[in-house]
Structure 1
Amino acid sequence: MPPDPPSAGLRPGGQRPAVLITRPEPGLTETMDAVSALGWRAVALPALRAEPVGQGPLAARGAQAVLVTSGQAVAALAGRLPPDLPMLVVGAATARRARDAGFTRVTAAGGTADALADLVLSARHAGDGALLLATAAGYGHALADRLRRNGFRVIRRRVYRVRPAMPPPAALRALLQDGGIAAALFFSAETARQFLRRLPRDLRDGLRDVRAIAISDGTAQILDAIPWRAIERAATPDQAAMLDRLGPVAAPSRRDAGPPGP
């Protein structure tokens, strides 16, 4: 079990401690609701945003399946591919988004690019046609390389772009000065990278009392570049495990609860 954060329980004046959520949409609103349900004050601080690239149908003739490594790709694919084209996706949350977008033959891997590669190698044959890898510039190279080494033809299709989205630091600075941040959630290595890249130097020491909760070892390694109270890795690469690591807000102590009523 992770240690209780120093800001657990109500802050002076009844303010709940904050949890920073650095993931973009889709997923940000869902996580905000789940974090609030645990009693925390969910604060949206998306480190990046995804924007669809291109319009019209994607060339998929002869492809045996499309590979999706991020939920950000799903919205960019809706209406651009045959809905019955087999789709192999990185994890369960992305699979739900793909089905909601109208895709009918969706199979989920275990939440990482390595797990997606394992799924392809066990469920697909290289001789059955090319694989379309729907991704953004600079992403998916390791997955494509591994599959190519195993005889697959992989065609990378850039269907979305990733842009920095960190808001001005004033709000984060105010939260840190108040001591009201208990934890920060990082759902990908890229969000961790963008967060640190755009974090003003004068705020880095202010995170010493904040727990960083990472979805993977790779994400945790990036976060290790600055001091945190602790860097905790989710047991499995999904939101449920992230929230399990976060835990609910501790009940306020009797001392913090204020004077008794009449």
Structure 2
Amino acid sequence: MGPLVLNTRPDTDSTDLLAALDKRGYRHLSAPMLNITFPVPTGPLDIKKYQAVIFTSANGVRAFAKLTGDRSLPAYCVGDATARMCATFGFDDVYSANGDINDLATLIRKKVDPAHGPLFHPAARKTAGDLGQMLLTDGYEVDRQTVYEAHESNSVPEDVLEALRNHHIEAVLFFSPRTAETFVKLVRSYKLERDLSGTSAICLSPAVQSKISDLTWYRTRVASQPTQEYLLSELGSLS
């Protein structure tokens, strides 16, 4: 039996990750730190005035697909997983920054002429960064609309609590600053701080790592590039 790993991603984003862990021989438990909900659309979305759509998460793609069947706009995506979700929903013109929000801003500056019209950014109410503000000085108009909600979890599953308290979990995987923040809140709520001294934290980026740095870990690792593949490479280096 392989090492036991804790996944903190929302259920909607975990399918590929859990399959990858299975393939690598890891056992896993899940404690989603965010619960994703999609409001019922009040009417169809008119995207005719936009020249492109920006996706900073796969859930943004899922929400967009609920709002309109129009796939005519080019899609600029933060990473490959989000780009694959676009392809799944029928987008033909898809670009991936293969990184984080800063890489996405760089990609947009290279590929998109701000003079050709505004960009549509379907997103959660809270995001890891303000892409519109980042691009504003370059002349881009970004229309960000809340199309889904990411609610912080207020509890930890009993099987995960037991595994943490018995020091059975070798590593916890963190993919976003907000999931990391929520995990820290719950660890303190359940008084689990001392139970992490033998557990490693594997983080997608330095921004994610900064949110869990106040806890006492056996070690922390950061993916050399902000993708699932590189995060799992760091997990493999613990063996």
Instruction: State whether TM-score is above 0.5.
Output: yes
Gap regions ≥5 residues in structure 1: 1-9, 11-15, 251-262
Amino acid in the other structure paired with 1:124: V
- Residues 66-215 of structure 1 correspond to what in structure 2 (within 5 A)? 66-81=53-68, 82-139=70-127, 142-165=130-153, 167-168=155-156, 170-199=158-187, 200-215=189-204
Letter of the structure 2 residue corresponding to residue 51 of structure 1: T
Kept in 1, the 8 Å contact 2:29–2:160? The answer is no
**Structure 2: which 5+ residue stretches go unaligned?**
none
- SS class of match (2:217): coil
> CA offsets per residue over residues 100-154 of structure 1, 9 Å max, x none?
0112211111220001100111111111000111111132652110111111111
> Matches of 2:40 and 2:175 in 1, distance apart?
26
d(CA) in 2 for partners of 1:54 and 1:228? 41
Is contact 1:39-1:248 (8 Å) kept? no
Q: Give RMSD over aligned pairs.
A: 1.9
For 1:233, the equivalent position in structure 2 comes to: 222
Change (3 A) 1:224 1:249: closer
Partner of 2:233: 244
What are the Cα deviations for residues 59-82 of structure 1, in whole angstroms up to 9, with x where unaligned? 322100111111111111115342
SS state at 1:63 partner: coil
Matched, 1:217 2:203: no
Q: Tell me if 1:17 matches 2:3.
A: yes
Give the deviation of 1:167 after TM superposition: 4.1
Tell whether the 8 Å contact from 1:32 to 1:44 is kept in structure 2 after alignment: no
Q: Deviations over 1:181-207 (max 9, x none)?
A: 100101111111111122235211101
Pick from 15, 21, 24 the counterpart of residue 38 of structure 1. 24
Structure 1 247/150 Cα, relative in aligned 2: closer, same or farther at 3 Å?
Answer: same
Any idea what SS the aligned residue of 1:62 has?
coil
Larger Cα-atom Rg: 1
Is contact 1:207–1:228 with CA below 8 Å preserved after alignment? yes
In structure 2, distance between residues paired with 1:233 and 1:91 = 17
How far residue 241 of structure 1 moved from its aligned partner, in angstroms, is 0.7
1:60 and 2:51 are equivalent in the alignment:
no
Report SS of the residue matched to 1:181: coil
1:50–1:116 CA distance, 2 compared to 1 (3 A): same
Q: Secondary structure at the residue paired with 1:66?
A: strand
**What secondary structure is seen at the aligned counterpart in 2 of 1:144?**
helix
Q: CA deviation at 1:170?
A: 3.1
8 Å Cα contact 1:68/1:88 also seen in 2: yes
Query: What is the rounded CA distance, in whole Å, between the counterparts of 1:96 and 1:41 in structure 2?
Result: 26
TM-score by length of 2: 0.92
TM-score, structure 1 normalization: 0.84
C-alpha distance in 2 between matches for 1:25 and 1:85: 28
- Letter of the 2:10 partner, please give it: P
